[in-house]
Chains A and B, each alone.
Chain A
Amino acid sequence: MKISRRDFLKWSVAAGVALNIEFDLANVNTVLAAETDPPIIWIQGAGCSGCTISTLNVTNPTTIDDVLLNKISMKYNSTIMTAAGDLAMQTLDQSATQYKGQFILVIEGAIPTGASGNYCIIGEFNGVPLTMQQAVLKYGPMAKYVVSAGTCASFGGVPASGANSTGCQSAKTILTGITTNPVVNLSGCPVHPTVLIQTLLDLILTGMPALDSNSRPTKYYSTIHSSCPRRGAQTGVPIGSATGCFRSVGCKGPSTQNVCPSMKWNNGQAWCIGVNYPCIGCSNPTFPTSPLI
């Protein structure tokens, strides 16, 4: 079922042309020369696996079976990988060492720094527990690119809210200044699957995308209210109304950037405002505000 690397490049270039992406031919040649599909290491901290599950829901630019079988090499993701225990941890460390400077590190969940990082232990390596904080500090600088999948990794999100008693921090906060390239934030609770998968492919094929002031790719993060189909409609409608603008009941659409109005969610089936509830701003650096709306 595995297609050749040349087929992957052909597919990728075609997709890139469709998206009007300019290719760096030297980079394409580097990808072609690599002995593996582009390696991805995906580690999870103080999160809920929702961003992994959301990624499994991808349909555009392709579906997850095609991604895993033909587009990337998922070296480590604790939710879907077969290996467990020592074998899993060895795979993590060996992959990072073998593909140092080549792999993409995807970080899901915030990074607890309280209690010396011991609020989240991702596994034992040679009998020694490895905290999420240690893992990020170890593997972040070894990666070619670091991607924060979701709002927790990007900004702290839910586990960093309120008193933030576990000292949760974003990947960017932990890693500023010590990575090869700036951390790319892909916020959203969860991350939108197209944003995640297409960004991985973009990084592999064209390198760093243009980022906004929150380190997010500008091509995905535009203000929800600006393209909301309810914009300009009657205001003052209550929560639950099938028509009208929710701005006066606290909708976060005017202050939130994401792809929701254009791509919607779950293969374009729906989105929050479409099912008559205001935007809660789940891709914002301030999420979750109190109250939410």
Chain B
Amino acid sequence: MSTIVLDPITRLEGHLKVSVTLDASNIVTAAEATGNLFRDFENMLIGRVPKDAAFLTQRICGVCPVSHAIASSKAVEAASGFTPNLQALLLRNLIQGANFISSNILHFYQLALMDYVQGPQMNPWTPGYSQDFKFNATDSQTLINNYVTALSIRRKAHEMGAIFGGKLPHVGNVVPGGVTAIPTSTDITNFRNYLNTITTFITNTYNADVNKLASTYSAYYTIGKGYGNLISYGVFDTNATGSKLFPAGTVTNGVASSFAATNIKEYVGHSWYTSPSGVNPASETTTPSFGKTGAYTWLKAPRYNGTPYEAGSLARTWISGDYKNGVSVMDRHMARYTETAKIAASMQTWLNQIVAGASAFTNLSAQASGSGIGLTEAPRGALGHWVSVATSKISKYQIVTPTCWNASPMDDAGNVGPIEKALIGTHVVDTTQPVELLRIVHSFDPCTGCSVHVMSPEGIEMSNFVVQPL
């Protein structure tokens, strides 16, 4: 029996450590994922005016800020009983869509691809593992060239989103009440020109490259499955009555079903918290306990009806019916491409519905009290904000992020998290170059800045803090 500790897992947002135990045949028998950064986001919001949260929560993650702004705005709007007009919903779709495209292209080329192809022999692309490269020289060169092109395409996607959002990352105007941009016909034309360029890259280059990866590494259709249970909160409103491009839902043991936020509970049995375990975020509290026996991460373990679920592109495309081939490393990449193409195509439709010169913003008066839930999707999966307001200030704020679902630890019933489950059973060919583990973890597109739960550090006893002793 041996162990492998990968810390840091690079090519993701944040600070993630993965530890695995191997048997004599180098098969993973146990895995632990550890979130290694703790900020105090939920508590730092308490006492602030509700509309500030749309700006502060974007700073949880520079890779998916727009989704946080939208989740926060929806939560505060729900607490006020307000629904933005169609123009606002469409502008949010276009800004969020631009960020999805940028993030998904960044993920495939800049974050994931270096697990399969050798980059230029210079920093930051070297050093790296030299294990299991299968592409021939021509294909390798094509992929590296497209890596460089993808850098400019993902940048252009951000430039496109900034036309209506002000700047990216961290947009300036997605707030409770709508979006303050008032598009001109020039803005709309500018946006469309960007979208056409980006769509061409997606449908030609990204399409060809992801299929090339899938055919060259077809074994990865059977690696890294995990539980196979999928969850999505739904994203991209297509009207003011709740219809979405990717609907909310769950897939449990292959069976599709509806979704209800009341079925979510977070468990802390193996997390550095002593607050009550198994509580819905609407009434959840958080008490930290560094070094708690049996705990190994800052992440809590969200569960749906007590069961671990995987969030992300594959969950969205499975529930929408756009891609439901299987659950694996390669299926995640294929689903991410599939949804990227669908989003780009849908953005053309939404852009055609934008009315030049029309307002998408209502200046909401501050509500004195109430509570609301804002559900959307970040590129890497289901994102929810739960807000309570008292005396016109935030009295409670809870955030459950996609990587909380995916990189969660073992829950109180002994179920490991989805990434941990996906690692178990994997054969590591060369334990000094465990590229298989990186490929599995990266396929989830984890983002630990998002995932790290937030709590008050009162009562921490550092003498009890034991770093995961593997």
| Chain A interface residues (CB < 8 Å from chain B) | 1-2, 44-54, 56-57, 59, 63-65, 68-69, 73-85, 87-89, 91, 95, 112, 114-116, 118-124, 127, 129, 157-159, 161-166, 168, 189-190, 238-240, 242, 265-267, 269-272, 274-277, 280, 282, 288, 290-292
**What is the CB-to-nearest-CB distance from B275 to chain A, in angstroms, rounded to a whole number?**
15
Given contact pairs A49-B13, A280-B55, A123 touches B162 in the complex (Cβ within 8 A) = no
Asked if B21 is at the interface of the complex by the 8 Å CB criterion, the answer is no
Q: Please, which residues of chain B bring their CB within 8 A of the CB of A290?
A: 47-49, 52
Please provide the chain B residues from 50 to 65 with a CB less than 8 Å away from any CB of chain A in the complex. Answer: 51-52, 55-56, 59-63, 65
Asked if B457 is at the interface of the complex by the 8 Å CB criterion, the answer is yes
Q: Please, which residues of chain B bring their CB within 8 A of the CB of A89?
A: 7-8
List 19 additional A-B contacts (Cβ < 8 Å) besides A162-B40, A269-B159: A2-B120, A56-B154, A56-B155, A65-B148, A83-B126, A85-B6, A85-B8, A88-B8, A95-B123, A121-B17, A124-B17, A158-B56, A166-B38, A189-B59, A266-B162, A269-B163, A270-B164, A275-B180, A280-B55
Q: Please, which residues of chain B bring their CB within 8 A of the CB of A57?
A: 155, 158-159, 168
Q: Please, which residues of chain B bring their CB within 8 A of the CB of A240?
A: 180, 182, 359, 361, 363
Asked if B460 is at the interface of the complex by the 8 Å CB criterion, the answer is yes
Query: What are 22 of the A-B contact pairs (CB < 8 Å)?
Result: A47-B62, A48-B449, A49-B61, A50-B59, A50-B169, A74-B124, A84-B9, A115-B457, A118-B465, A119-B37, A119-B457, A120-B36, A121-B17, A127-B5, A158-B44, A163-B40, A166-B40, A238-B363, A267-B159, A275-B166, A276-B182, A277-B180
Q: Is the CB of A115 within 8 A of B47?
A: no
Q: Please, which residues of chain A bring their CB within 8 A of the CB of B2?
A: none
User: How many residue pairs bridge A and B at CB < 8 Å?
Assistant: 265
Q: Please, which residues of chain B bring their CB within 8 A of the CB of A280?
A: 55, 172
Asked if B290 is at the interface of the complex by the 8 Å CB criterion, the answer is yes
**What is the CB-to-nearest-CB distance from A55 to chain B, in angstroms, rounded to a whole number?**
10
Which of B37, B51, B151, B163 has the most CB atoms of chain A within a 10 A radius of its CB? B37
Interface string of B175-191 (1 = CB under 8 A from A): 10000111000000010
Please provide the chain B residues from 230 to 275 with a CB less than 8 Å away from any CB of chain A in the complex. Answer: none
Which of B106, B166, B449 has the most CB atoms of chain A within a 10 A radius of its CB? B166
Q: Is the CB of B114 within 8 A of A82?
A: yes
Q: Please, which residues of chain B bring their CB within 8 A of the CB of A163?
A: 40, 43-44
Q: Is the CB of A115 within 8 A of B460?
A: yes
Distance between Cα atoms of A146 and B124 in the complex (Å): 19
A84 is contacted by which of B6, B159, B190 (Cβ under 8 Å)?
B6
Q: Is the CB of A50 within 8 A of B10?
A: no
Q: Please, which residues of chain B bring their CB within 8 A of the CB of A115?
A: 290, 457, 460, 462, 465
